[in-house]
Structures are given as C-alpha cells and as structure tokens.
Amino acid sequence: MSTPSVTRLVFTDLDGTLLDHYNYSYADAMPRLRALERMGIPVIPVTSKTRAEIEQLRAELRNRHPFVVENGAAVFIPEGYFPQAPAETRLYDGYWVREFAPPRSRWLELLESMDEVYSGEFSSFFRLGTRGIMELTGLPEARARQANQREYSEPVHWIGRESRRQRFQADLEAAGATVLQGGRFLAVSGNTDKGRALRWLRACFSGPVQDLAAGDSGNDCAMLEAAATALLVRSPAHAFPALRRVDGVIQSRAFGPAGWAEGVSRWLDHSAVAGENQEQ
C-alpha cells in the first residue's frame, strides 16, 4: 500500500515576521517565497491585519491561498480552492468564510464603556482615524486606511502606566473580550486566537499535513504551539515569545523577513530528510 503524500503548509505572521518590523518590507523573503510557490507549498498569512491589508499584500506576492485575519477572528478561503466548501463557512465576496468572532461594533461599544474609568489612557484605531494610524505606524495613507477597515476586532494603543494596563485588560476580559498583546497594540476581540484558526484550516486539507508556523510576538503563541514546527523569528524590538513546547522549535538568527527565510530553509531541509526516512 502506498503512503499518502504529505501536504506541507507554511502559516505565517506578517508584521515583524514576513514583513520588516520598521519598514514593512518583504524583500529579504522573496527568494524563499518564490521557491515555496514553485514547490507547491502554500504560504498562509495568519495575522492581526485586516482583509483589505492582506488582499493588497497577496496581490503583490501573487499569493492565491487562504488567509486568517485579525488574530484568528475569521478564515478566508478563495471560493473553489477546495473541491467543496468546508463546513461552517458562508459564501461572501468570493470567499468561503469561517467566522470565530463577533463584529467590530461589539468591541467599539465595550471600549466606549471603559472611558469613564480609563479616560485619556488609551486610544483605538477607530478614534485615531487614518491620520493618527499613520503617525503611530509610519504607514502611508492608503495602507493606514486599510488597517482601519476592521471587521472583527479593534487595536488599542495604550498610553497609561503598565500597572493600569493590566487592570484595563482584566476589565475588558471580564466583560467578555479576549485581549492579545501584539508587537505594538493590544488587539481586542472575541474568544479567538491564531492557533484555533490554524487548526480549523489545517483540517480542511486532505491527507497528512506537515506544517510550519512562523511568528515573532506574544499574539503568535497559540499558532506556534499548534503547528508541527514553530519558527520563532528574531525581533529587533523584543525577545522571542515564550512557548510551553520545547521540541520542534526553530529560532532564527537573522531578524524579520531575513530570519523568516532562514528558518523556512532550515525547516525545508529537515522535512525533506524526514520524508526520505519515511520512504525507506
């Protein structure tokens, strides 16, 4: 009996991982991205970014694979990508969509209710608007506008003391939100995370799967724990995120997209050897 072929997948964070922490460039990753496409290995963005932001990046990279938005809030699968629509999805705007979180309006209402206690200690993308997002992130106007087209979550910029931030986060969570610390912002959304979205999407692929998850910060931990192999991409701004797992972990030496390319190459070398051993 022949052994079923293994599907290899790369799930990847964007900011600070595939994209440079400071200038959002992916130039250092391009040779490896092209190689993965030639090898038929899907690169699947799993990110805090919005659908509008990811669609722009996918167009630039000629990436036609599924993607996960807003820290696992929803999975977007191009219509027809699989032989049939996965269970629990709805057809929307050319995608089969699996939603895990309530809409953005739920979190805007919750944040508004926090004003009485935390007035002047935080802001949000909705309040900042395009100009404020540009100032905080360095994004050009068009990209800043895309970053504010959120559907399931709200990024929060904390201005107050650290001790107050912890209380603020606890109050949000007591009110039903999940709060994740990203590279720059707190992401306020529902009971979702990147790991749950990864596991659901991975199950949509037929046959055995060998997957890699790449990330650089705390909001990537659930995804890094869920994949067969975790790639920790070195950041110039903070330490590697802490994982419970000790096996199947790669730490890059280079930063950002250069570290991403380095780690993916090491994973490909290892998975090729593992595949040869399975065939013997």
- Write down the catalytic residue from 13, 28, 211, 220: 13
3-state secondary structure of 251: strand
Cα separation, 80 vs 103, in Å, equals 25
User: Using alpha carbons only, what angle is made at residue 84 by residues 78 and 88, rounded to the nearest 5 degrees?
Assistant: 80
Nearest-angstrom CA–CA distance, 76 and 185: 23
Residue 49, C-beta contacts closer than 8 angstroms, at least 6 positions apart: 14, 15, 57, 69, 70, 147
Cβ atoms of residues 10 and 212 within 8 Å: yes
Strand partners, 10: 43, 212
Burial 207-245 (b: 16+ CB within 10 A, else e): eeebbbbbbbbebbbbbbbbbebbbbbbbeeeebbeeee
Is residue 13 annotated as a catalytic residue, yes or no? yes
Detail the DSSP E strand segments found in 119-184: 122-124, 154-158, 178-181
Instruction: Tell me if 251 sits within 8 A of 266, measured CB to CB.
Output: no
Distance CA 261, CA 210 (A): 18
Kindly list the catalytic residues.
13
